[in-house]
Structure 1
Amino acid sequence: MRNIKNQLVGLDSRFEYRGLNQTRIETFSDAVFAVAFTLVVLSSTVPETFDELRKSIEDIIPSFICIVLIVVIWYQHYVFFIRYGLQNTKTVTVNTLLLFTLLIYVYPLKFLARFLVELYGGLIFGKPDNFMNDFGGEMNGENMTLLMTAYGAGATLIFMTMAWLYRHAYKKRDELELDDYESFATKVSLWQNVLMSAIPFLSTITAFFHPFGQGALNFAVAGFIYMLYPPVMITFGYRVRKKSKQLFG
């Protein structure tokens, strides 16, 4: 039976993967991602009463949302290192910045996910009292601004750091012996991460400068900005496929 793992099923078959042998950078990074998962799942204490158990069960959906987002970041990280296998000082430095930001980002991510799940759950299922008991006294205009700013700044920095890594790989394209297609794919990944960072950056600016007032409306606008992801990324993907077909058939 053929070794499916070595065939890189599901990855770009036109790219020569230079980082198949795992390095200590990746091992350390995976450990940090594991810590991030642990912080998401175990961010609350062990329940000692039934009410606490109920609340921990209600925490499943916010935890799932956080885990999905962390997996997206992890996959981007995995693809970068399996593509290029870079181990120089700049790669280590930028990667450390990424991991540091990720660990700080976990808590505002978890809080925002829980806040939104309880907010919309209360509106949909007609139980606003639960939401008000948990957040009503805390989430004034100033705190909502701080929450959206912290979340957006974290997301911006994470994706800008990934774009920085891809820019570094692109500048090393001669040393890595990237062909025309691989150089093109590297630029695509760079600009993909720039776009991924631009949307939370716009949300952060909206939250911080609150042009719609320092209240619920501005919080809602800053949140709805993230709805730009589908049209922006779909349009970007369409243009990339069109350009790739023109250049490489």
Structure 2
Amino acid sequence: MYKHSRGRITALSDGIFAFAATLMVVDIGTTIDIKNIGAQLPLFTSFGVAFFVMMLLWKVHYNFFQRTKYVDNWIITANILLLFTILFYLFPLKTLINSITQQIGMTANDLSQLFMLYGGGFVLIFASYSFLYWKAYKRDIENNNRLKLKFFCSHFLIFVIIGIVSVILSAFQLGINFGFPGFVYALLGPLCYFNGAFFRKKHPSVFT
């Protein structure tokens, strides 16, 4: 038996995602100079990137609650932490994009702190997703496809590891002027591919 209301949790979560989108719109509305709209295009770019990143995070959140009906107090707590981090994470992401698109002069220390803030949010978000899947895998014994929950736990754990590597590189300012702490996120593609290939080989029936 599932003791908690999944509908209440998803409704609250959708409301917070909508609130985050509203905050971004209000923020861009207070910084745009309509008389010089051409020079403001980088602000629209950062808004667009942050918005679609948020939508991708919402889709990951949506997929989790489609794959399991299990909810307990641990899942509720992890979900709250996740939503809090997403709200906080969007603004350093916009700042990072603005620094690139507007070529804002930033010192190595500034870049280091920004990458660490970005990486810390990235780690917390995907650690929350990984924990949600791990908890559901362990406890949702009524689920007919529990191995898929296990796969996504390991999948998002890769994101956590890469985020930690980026934070470490940022803390020691290794290649910071060349954006190396950002480039390490490109490793997500091949690592996730090999993880998926390994899991499919070990459990060929999971994704059929």
TM (norm. structure 2) is 0.87
Unaligned runs of 5+ in 1: 1-17, 119-130
Q: Which residue of 2 aligns with 1:188?
A: 151
Q: Which residue of 2 aligns with 1:84?
A: 68
Q: 1:22 to 1:87 in 2, by over 3 A?
A: closer
Q: CA deviation at 1:62?
A: 1.9
Aligned residue-pair number: 204
Report SS of the residue matched to 1:245.
Answer: coil
Pair 1:159-2:122 in alignment? no
Larger radius of gyration between Structure 1 and Structure 2? 1
Output the aligned Cα RMSD.
Answer: 2.3
Q: CA deviation at 1:63?
A: 1.9
Pair 1:216-2:203 in alignment? no
Matching residue within 78, 87, 91 for 1:107: 91
Q: Which amino acid aligns with 1:95?
A: N
Q: Which amino acid aligns with 1:216?
A: N
Report SS of the residue matched to 1:85.
Answer: coil
Partners of 1:32 and 1:99 within 8 A in 2? yes
Partners of 1:25 and 1:87 within 8 A in 2? no
Pair 1:230-2:189 in alignment? yes
Q: Which amino acid aligns with 1:164?
A: F
Q: Which residue of 1 aligns with 2:35?
A: 50
Q: Which amino acid aligns with 1:224?
A: F
Q: Distance in 2 between matches of 1:72 and 1:36?
A: 13
Q: Distance in 1 between matches of 2:21 and 2:34?
A: 25
Could you report, residue by residue, the CA deviation over 1:190-249 in whole angstroms, capped at 9, with x for unpaired residues? 00110122112110111012245xx514xx211111111221122222223333327787
Unaligned runs of 5+ in 2: none
Q: CA deviation at 1:43?
A: 2.0
Q: Distance in 2 between matches of 1:48 and 1:38?
A: 19
Q: Distance in 2 between matches of 1:88 and 1:198?
A: 26
